[in-house]
Amino acid sequence: MDYECPICGKLLPHELIRIISHGEAHITEEIKKKHPEWVESNGVCRKCYEYYREQIRPKDKK
Ligand SMILES: [Zn+2]
């Protein structure tokens, strides 16, 4: 059964959905800024997860 990512709307196998843990609350906050209706327990796809993780990453000088 396919699953629709609530963030990007992409269909994907359910096992690819990532549920964000409590230790990653900063990521869920970032997602909720853009998707206020999103429910954490619905999870996100890997792409969205990685995208938002990038968004919150401090931009250090290398
Ligand atoms: Zn997605």
**Three-class secondary structure of residue 18 per DSSP:** strand
Q: How far is ligand 1, taken at its centre, from the CA of residue 46, in Å?
A: 7
Evaluate if residue 54 carries a pLDDT over 70: yes
- Is the pTM for the entire model greater than 0.85? no
More confident residue, 16 or 27: 27
pLDDT, average across residues 26-54: 93
Q: How high is the pLDDT of residue 61?
A: 66
pLDDT band for 51, please (50, 70, 90 cuts). very high
**CB contact burial 17-26 (16+ within 10 A = b; e otherwise):** bbebeeebee
Q: How far is ligand 1, taken at its centre, from the CA of residue 50, in Å?
A: 10
User: Which of 15, 17, 2, 9 lies closest to 35 in space, CA to CA?
Assistant: 9
Evaluate if residue 62 carries a pLDDT over 70: no
Q: Which helix (H) or strand (E) holds 27?
A: helix 25-34
